[in-house]
């Protein structure tokens, strides 16, 4: 952390006490494309995060230096066009701009600051680098107005501004919508609510959640970055969301209580699936069965049945590949390689798909054979270099310094 503070002083010059905020990325263990359908998900916060080293000042302007892009940009918090830069902004600037906008609309008084942005959550990997960035930016704005606020979890500084962390997650979600991705609430929520050593089961409708312990001594979570980058704003994500909304609307004719696909039971779906257009039917089948897999997975973890949990992970990937059609040859190859390694319990794509990462549950003794198998086979067949790491479940966002 001192290196980031030193980097701030290199970019912006010597100053007083520099503060550091952090928003972790996440990996979703199971429950994909259910969040924006009001359903259930099981993510965990990662040790990888996006961090901002900041120093507040008296001007109504935010000046940022991105370590990743080696680029400086700024935007105003006041004037005729607040939250807009003078020139066409780089894409990475749009996230804090929209966070500032929604915080102001929520009644948070904004103060300017300078900040250096860095992170080790791979962009476009399906590990929610954008949500981590939004959450870190939100904490930076909250801290800028209370620069002497002590280090600690996000909950305390949010409460000091009359916000819950659930509400802060919703505001960050709105910011991402305004950037152009109609994401669900999961990514921002887990970034704020992660708990060390646990995944959480989140009800995306009412934001109630419960922690589920991960038996790290008996199994490890291995994340493998395929090296294939995706861009959700290209339209495929939003198209699937619209297809789900169409399916819920059609099924509502048979049960007026259906507001979202979350409300569609497997029995209702099976009874009326023939009334749906073929593509919409497949999309709905994935979401309805995926919600059931999440709840069954929670029970499996509570009872310590890791083999059962692994089978559910496998079924989730197959459904994402065949019914939701968000996988790809590289992700499928990583899953196939993993499943062939003795001691691997389950493997699936994680995140929205169209590239990004897989998540694999493996016995501790299988981690190294898994790494060796991926490195021996995947580059030869794809000409891509994967990144592999094992991450424990981490705590959620907060003020580190």
Residue 75 lies in a domain: yes
For the chain, percent of residues with pLDDT exceeding 90: 86
Marked catalytic residue, from 187, 225, 263, 323: 187
Q: Which two tokens stand for residue 280?
A: 């919409």
Residue 343 lies in a domain: no
Task: Give the model's pLDDT for residue 231.
Answer: 59
Euclidean distance between the first and the last CA atom of the chain, given in angstroms as a whole number: 8
Q: Which two tokens stand for residue 101?
A: 């906008």
Task: Give the model's pLDDT for residue 233.
Answer: 46
Residue 232 lies in a domain: no
Residue 16 lies in a domain: yes
Query: Which region among 12-21, 92-101, 174-183 has the lowest average model confidence (pLDDT)?
Result: 174-183
Q: How far apart are CA 42 and CA 159, in angstroms?
A: 26
Task: Give the model's pLDDT for residue 1.
Answer: 53
Q: What's the mean pLDDT in 36-50?
A: 95
Q: Got the DSSP string for 101-131?
A: HHHHHTTPPP--EEEEEEE-SPTTSSS-HHH
Residue 37 lies in a domain: yes
In sequence order, the β-bridge partners of residue 120 are none
Q: What's the mean pLDDT in 76-89?
A: 83
Residue 111 lies in a domain: yes
Task: Give the model's pLDDT for residue 229.
Answer: 82
Domain holding 65: CATH number? 3.30.230.10
- Which residues are CB-contacts of 363 (< 8 A; sequence separation ≥ 6)? 218, 219, 220, 343, 344, 345
Residue 370's pLDDT band (boundaries 50, 70, 90)?
very high
Q: What's the mean pLDDT in 8-24?
A: 95
Q: What's the mean pLDDT in 322-350?
A: 97
- Give percent helix, percent strand, percent coil of the chain, each to the nearest 5: 45, 20, 35
pLDDT one-digit tens code per residue, 192-227: 999 999 999 999 999 999 999 998 889 999 999 999
- What is the CB neighbour count within 10 angstroms for residue 17? 9
pLDDT one-digit tens code per residue, 87-134: 788 999 999 999 999 999 999 999 999 999 999 988 877 788 999 999
Residue 311's pLDDT band (boundaries 50, 70, 90)?
very high
Residue 187 is a catalytic residue: yes
Q: How far apart are CA 36 and CA 287, in angstroms?
A: 10
Q: Which structural domain, as residue segments, surrounds residue 45?
A: 2-213+395-399
Higher confidence at residue 288 or residue 197?
288
Q: Structurally, how many domains does the chain consist of?
A: 1
Task: Give the model's pLDDT for residue 352.
Answer: 85
């Amino acid at each position: 952390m001192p290196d980031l503070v030193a980097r701030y002083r290199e970019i912006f010059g010597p100053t007083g006490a520099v503060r550091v905020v952090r928003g972790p990325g996440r990996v979703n263990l199971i429950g994909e494309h259910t969040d924006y359908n009001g359903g259930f998900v099981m993510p965990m916060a990662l040790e990888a995060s996006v961090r901002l080293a900041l120093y507040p000042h008296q001007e109504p302007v935010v000046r940022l230096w991105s370590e990743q892009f080696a680029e400086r940009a700024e935007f105003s918090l006041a004037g005729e066009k607040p939250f807009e830069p003078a020139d066409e902004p780089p894409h990475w600037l749009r996230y804090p701009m929209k966070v500032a906008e929604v915080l102001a609309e929520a009644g948070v008084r904004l103060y300017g600051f300078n900040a250096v942005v860095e992170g080790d959550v791979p962009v476009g990997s399906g590990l929610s680098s954008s949500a981590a960035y939004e959450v870190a930016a939100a904490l930076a704005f909250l801290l800028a107005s209370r620069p002497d606020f002590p280090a600690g979890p996000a909950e305390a500084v949010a409460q000091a501004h009359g916000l819950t962390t659930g509400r802060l997650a919703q505001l960050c979600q709105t910011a991402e919508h305004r950037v152009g991705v109609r994401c669900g609430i999961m990514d921002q929520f887990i970034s704020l609510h992660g708990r060390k050593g646990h995944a959480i089961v989140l009800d995306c409708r009412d934001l109630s959640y419960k922690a589920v312990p991960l038996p790290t001594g008996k199994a490890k979570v291995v994340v493998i970055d395929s090296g294939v980058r995706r861009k959700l704003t290209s339209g495929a994500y939003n198209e699937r969301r619209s297809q789900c909304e169409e399916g819920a609307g059609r099924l509502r004719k048979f049960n007026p209580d259906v507001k979202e696909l979350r409300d569609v039971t497997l029995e209702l779906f099976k009874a009326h699936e023939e009334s749906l257009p073929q593509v919409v039917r497949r999309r709905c089948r994935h979401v309805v069965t995926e919600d059931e897999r999440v709840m069954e997975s929670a029970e499996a973890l509570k009872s310590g049945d890791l083999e059962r949990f692994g089978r559910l992970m496998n079924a989730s990937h197959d459904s994402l590949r065949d019914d939701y059609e968000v996988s790809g040859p590289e992700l499928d190859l990583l899953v196939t390689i993993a499943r062939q390694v003795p001691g691997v319990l389950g493997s699936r794509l994680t995140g929205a798909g169209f590239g990004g990462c897989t998540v694999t549950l493996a016995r501790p003794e299988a981690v190294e054979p898994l790494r060796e198998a991926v490195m021996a086979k995947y580059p030869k067949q794809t000409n891509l270099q994967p990144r592999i790491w094992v991450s424990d479940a981490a705590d959620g966002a907060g003020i580190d310094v």
